[in-house]
Amino acid sequence: MGKARIKGALVGVEAVTAEGLKAVYKDFNLSGENLVQRLRLFKKHGVHVLGSFIFGLSTDRQDTFEATAALAKRAELTFAQFVMMTPFPGTVDFDRWEKSISGDPKQIDGIPITRYWLIPGHRRPKLYMPHPSMSADEIRMRTQGVWDGYYRLSEIWKRARCVKSLKARLAFVFISN
């Protein structure tokens, strides 16, 4: 990628534990410190990474949130996004969720909730997968906590070292914030 002058890549990490990766059918990927080292290789070759992580997997526990944030920092990712598990059409999770709704699904403006992408954005509900040990509100709160910690001004400033000039560092902080 470096030789091809690629400067950035979105890496769908999804989960940082072996159990989480198995839950999203990516158990062929690395986890833990092996994952940290693999992600650092991008930076070593001059490629900035936006790491994408999913919270709310059935294997997630309360400590998964902090472990994910810590791994993203150790991996020296330039940017990261932390999202809640959402059932998207065409996925195994969507099919499972759609089948779990008994009878007629709830409707909004005459559109079944199972076709939520057709509901106008301002009326569209947030959909989250049921979790065995945490409520959607707890997952949402903990996810927001990870975002807030990762994008704390002091953390952004540390990551801004990836650019050389003070002007560029300030622009990095502005963009990240």
Instruction: List, as one string, the DSSP characters of the chain.
Output: -TTTT--EEEEEEE-SSHHHHHHTT-TTS--HHHHHHHHHHHHHTT-EEEEEEEE--TT--HHHHHHHHHHHHHTT-SEEEEEE----TTSHHHHHHHHHS-SSPPEETTEEGGGGGGS-TTTPPP-----SSS-HHHHHHHHHHHHHHHT-HHHHHHHGGGS-SHHHHHHHHHHH-
Label residue 127 by pLDDT band (50, 70, 90).
low
Q: What pTM, to 2 d.p., does this model score?
A: 0.86
Calculate the alpha carbon distances from 69 to 3, 5, 8, 126, 155 in Å.
30, 29, 20, 23, 11
pLDDT value for 49:
96
What integer pLDDT is reported at residue 1 of this predicted model? 86
Do 134 and 121 share a structural domain?
no
In a domain, 48, yes or no: yes
Ranking 17-26, 51-60, 146-155, 163-172 by mean pLDDT, the lowest is 17-26
What pLDDT, in 10s, does the model give residues 74-126?
999 999 999 998 888 888 888 888 887 767 778 888 888 888 888 888 888 77
What's the mean pLDDT in 51-63? 95
**Residue 144: domain span:** 8-85+128-176
The answer as to whether 61 is a domain residue is yes
Indicate whether 57 belongs to any domain: yes
Note the maximum CA span of the chain.
60
At residue 63 the predicted structure's pLDDT band, cuts being 50, 70 and 90, is very high
Express as a percent the part of the chain with pLDDT over 70. Answer: 98
Are residues 98 and 45 part of one domain? no
Greater pLDDT, 14 or 125? 14
In a domain, 121, yes or no: yes
Q: Do 27 and 78 share a domain, yes or no?
A: yes
